[in-house]
Homo-oligomer: A and B are copies of this chain.
Amino acid sequence: MASAPGRSDRQVGGRSRRRGSPASQPCSAPAYFTRKIPAYELLGEEGLVRLEEQADWILKEVGIRIIDDPATLDLLRQVGATVDGTRVRFDPGHVRSLCRTAPSEFTIHARNPARDVRIGGMNVVTAPTFGPPMVTDLDRGRRKGSIEDFRNFVKLGHVSPWIHHSGGSVCEPEDLPLNKRHLDMVEALVTLSDKPFCGTSSAPERALDSLKMAEIAFGAGRMARDCVVMAVVNVNSPLSFDHITTGVMKAFAEAGQATLMSPFMMAGAMSPVTQPAAIAQVHAECMAGIALYQIFRQGAPIVYGSFLTTLDLRTGAPTYGTPEANLSTFATCQLARRVGVPIRAGGRYTGSKAPDAQAMMESVNALNAGIMAGTNLILHAAGWIEGGMATSYEKYVMDLDHIGALGRQMQGLVLDDNQMGRDAYRETALGENFLGVDHTQRNFKAANYMSDLADTGPYEHWAEKGSLDMARRANRKWKDMLAAYERPPIDAAVAEEVAAFVARRKSEMPDEWY
């Protein structure tokens, strides 16, 4: 068990927001948010202990399954777990103690150092939706995702002020073979943006390809020192880790790179239907995954990923932004903080099929809950629609607007003399308005977050401009953003080496489509 690059970060701490020089940045916004407001604490000590005891009970009495991976079962036996066939049980407190070597904060480096992101602590990092097979826009409608769509979404992320991390499978390029598309996806992530990105987690051999491509992009030896790539790994909930999951985790842990460890929990299907049970199970699964990662490599950076939502039990369909899911977000973030690792929670989730009022209601609820709960990493922050079945161009830019607003909200109130504005009263006769006073002139530009999608004017102006609803305005906006996209600089030799690697790997395998 070697020590991973991220490990020393626990001691280092550090919450400063990094800013690159304007010329090196694709946009003027900071590389990530640093929150200055407290997290919402839904539960008190008694409730948290009760949930922790339940997680301990699950890990002791129910256990987890390790499927088709005898080597990992051996490692678990060696650290003192009770292995019975594929079932692994842990004494109370054991799993949590195995999590202790995971760093509380770490940096994911970007090709552009001004775009490095800091995961954990008071920092908040956004990444777009991950995994949809379909894409949709108001012009062309709903269709299978293509590599062209994939590249478009990487470009949108690159020019977006409120997307900090490029994510990974922003949509699945269904026009490419299943066993090779990861090569084109990672190539696009490496070359079309200089923000940090995800590696591949669909299979261990693909994970290794993506790690190799990261090594080309960042230079030989760099990954021994720095975290430059992250895998998004789902637990096979309930309480199971198959050999693909553990294989991808091993590949990333051994390379000293990061994993976002996420149960995929719909209460009533992958867990009991009641939220407290589901929350405790998320906690058990996350801690088990983090412990495994630390067994694979002590100090390897990992994120506690809460993805817990509800089902419409009339239809069996997953539901998003629901009050029960929001309560779970609050509680899981509290539990994760007590483990001492970075937290992923919140996202712009919706079950709506259109970029409409339902989409916004559910997404705003879900993201607000994550932000208030104190999330550090927001996956699915932009583009998610239709329960994650599709990435929507219009929804993507609508989501950006809400992220920007919450970025401002997280800055809180500054209670200094300027903000108190006593001079404004001295300038104004009692009862008169403040529109023209010096204090207003001095402060109005910085006072408020300015949405570029909201229509704030009177009805008549809106009607004159064509009565466009927000989705129609978003349709214009993403086209403007793509038109404004400029490819960030990249060393030609690096780009060539990445392309050569992709070509070689493709030539080594026959196409597989399912």
Name A's B-contacting residues (CB within 8 A): 37-38, 40-43, 47, 50-51, 54, 57-58, 61-65, 87, 142, 236, 238-240, 267-277, 279-280, 310-319, 322-324, 326-327, 331, 351-362, 364-365, 368, 372, 386, 389-390, 398, 401-402, 405-406, 408-409, 412-415, 418-422, 424-425, 428, 430-435, 437, 439-440, 443-445, 447-451, 453-459, 462-463, 467, 469-471, 474
Assess whether B357 is in contact with A356, with CB atoms less than 8 Å apart.
Answer: yes
Assess whether B280 is in contact with A455, with CB atoms less than 8 Å apart.
Answer: no
Assess whether A456 is in contact with B315, with CB atoms less than 8 Å apart.
Answer: yes
Known: A274-B419, A450-B312. A430 touches B352 (CB 8 A): no
Q: How far is the CA of A311 from the CA of B433 in the complex (A)?
A: 13
- Measured between beta carbons, the chain B residues less than 8 angstroms from A364 are 360-361, 364-365, 368
Assess whether B469 is in contact with A357, with CB atoms less than 8 Å apart.
Answer: yes
- Measured between beta carbons, the chain B residues less than 8 angstroms from A323 are 405-406, 408-409, 449
Q: How far is the CA of A351 from the CA of B422 in the complex (A)?
A: 30
Assess whether B324 is in contact with A277, with CB atoms less than 8 Å apart.
Answer: no
4 A-B pairs with the lowest CB-CB distances in the bound complex, closest first: A272-B421, A323-B409, A277-B421, A356-B469
**29 A-B pairs in the complex with CB atoms less than 8 angstroms apart:** A51-B415, A58-B425, A61-B422, A64-B430, A65-B431, A142-B459, A238-B433, A268-B434, A268-B435, A272-B434, A272-B437, A274-B439, A276-B414, A277-B424, A312-B450, A315-B456, A317-B456, A317-B457, A319-B448, A319-B451, A323-B406, A324-B449, A351-B454, A353-B459, A356-B356, A356-B470, A358-B455, A364-B364, A365-B368
Q: Could you tell me the distance in whole angstroms from the C-beta of A399 to the nearest C-beta in chain B? A: 10
Q: Could you tell me the distance in whole angstroms from the C-beta of A446 to the nearest C-beta in chain B? A: 9
Assess whether A322 is in contact with B274, with CB atoms less than 8 Å apart.
Answer: no
- Measured between beta carbons, the chain B residues less than 8 angstroms from A270 are 433-434
Q: Looking across the interface, which residue of chain B has its beta carbon closest to that of A407?
A: B323
The residue from B142, B315, B419 contacting A276, defined by CB atoms under 8 A apart: B419
Q: How far is the CA of A470 from the CA of B195 in the complex (A)?
A: 36
Q: Could you tell me the distance in whole angstroms from the C-beta of A135 to the nearest C-beta in chain B? A: 13
Assess whether B357 is in contact with A355, with CB atoms less than 8 Å apart.
Answer: yes
Assess whether B57 is in contact with A422, with CB atoms less than 8 Å apart.
Answer: yes
Contacts A273-B421, A319-B448 given; 5 further ones with Cβ under 8 A?
A: A270-B433, A318-B456, A319-B451, A356-B356, A358-B455
Assess whether A448 is in contact with B322, with CB atoms less than 8 Å apart.
Answer: yes
- Measured between beta carbons, the chain B residues less than 8 angstroms from A58 are 425
Q: How far is the CA of A353 from the CA of B454 in the complex (A)?
A: 10
- Measured between beta carbons, the chain B residues less than 8 angstroms from A322 are 405, 448-449, 451
The residue from B312, B324, B402, B439 contacting A272, defined by CB atoms under 8 A apart: B439
- Measured between beta carbons, the chain B residues less than 8 angstroms from A418 are 274
Q: Could you tell me the distance in whole angstroms from the C-beta of A66 to the nearest C-beta in chain B? A: 11
Assess whether B360 is in contact with A412, with CB atoms less than 8 Å apart.
Answer: no
Assess whether A271 is in contact with B469, with CB atoms less than 8 Å apart.
Answer: no
- Measured between beta carbons, the chain B residues less than 8 angstroms from A50 are 415, 420
Q: How far is the CA of A316 from the CA of B239 in the complex (A)?
A: 55
- Measured between beta carbons, the chain B residues less than 8 angstroms from A315 are 456-457
Assess whether B398 is in contact with A268, with CB atoms less than 8 Å apart.
Answer: no
- Measured between beta carbons, the chain B residues less than 8 angstroms from A269 are 433-435
Q: How far is the CA of A240 from the CA of B409 in the complex (A)?
A: 30
- Measured between beta carbons, the chain B residues less than 8 angstroms from A352 are 454-455, 469-470
The residue from B42, B274, B354 contacting A469, defined by CB atoms under 8 A apart: B354
Assess whether A420 is in contact with B274, with CB atoms less than 8 Å apart.
Answer: yes
Q: Could you tell me the distance in whole angstroms from the C-beta of A118 to the nearest C-beta in chain B? A: 22
- Measured between beta carbons, the chain B residues less than 8 angstroms from A240 are 430-431
Assess whether B454 is in contact with A358, with CB atoms less than 8 Å apart.
Answer: yes
Assess whether A434 is in contact with B238, with CB atoms less than 8 Å apart.
Answer: yes
Q: How far is the CA of A274 from the CA of B313 in the complex (A)?
A: 47
Known: A368-B364, A435-B268, A448-B319. A425 touches B61 (CB 8 A): yes
Q: Looking across the interface, which residue of chain B has its beta carbon closest to that of A312?
A: B456
- Measured between beta carbons, the chain B residues less than 8 angstroms from A445 are 313
- Measured between beta carbons, the chain B residues less than 8 angstroms from A279 are 413
Q: How far is the CA of A279 from the CA of B414 in the complex (A)?
A: 12
Assess whether A327 is in contact with B409, with CB atoms less than 8 Å apart.
Answer: yes
Query: Among the interface residues A267, A269, A390, A430, which one has the most CB atoms of the partner chain B within 10 A?
Result: A430
Q: How far is the CA of A192 from the CA of B274 in the complex (A)?
A: 40
Query: Among the interface residues A61, A422, A448, which one has the most CB atoms of the partner chain B within 10 A?
Result: A448
Assess whether B469 is in contact with A409, with CB atoms less than 8 Å apart.
Answer: no
- Measured between beta carbons, the chain B residues less than 8 angstroms from A450 are 312, 314
Known: A270-B433, A274-B447, A413-B327. A458 touches B405 (CB 8 A): no
Assess whether A272 is in contact with B440, with CB atoms less than 8 Å apart.
Answer: yes
Q: How far is the CA of A455 from the CA of B463 in the complex (A)?
A: 29
Q: Looking across the interface, which residue of chain B has its beta carbon closest to that of A473?
A: B358
Assess whether A413 is in contact with B456, with CB atoms less than 8 Å apart.
Answer: no
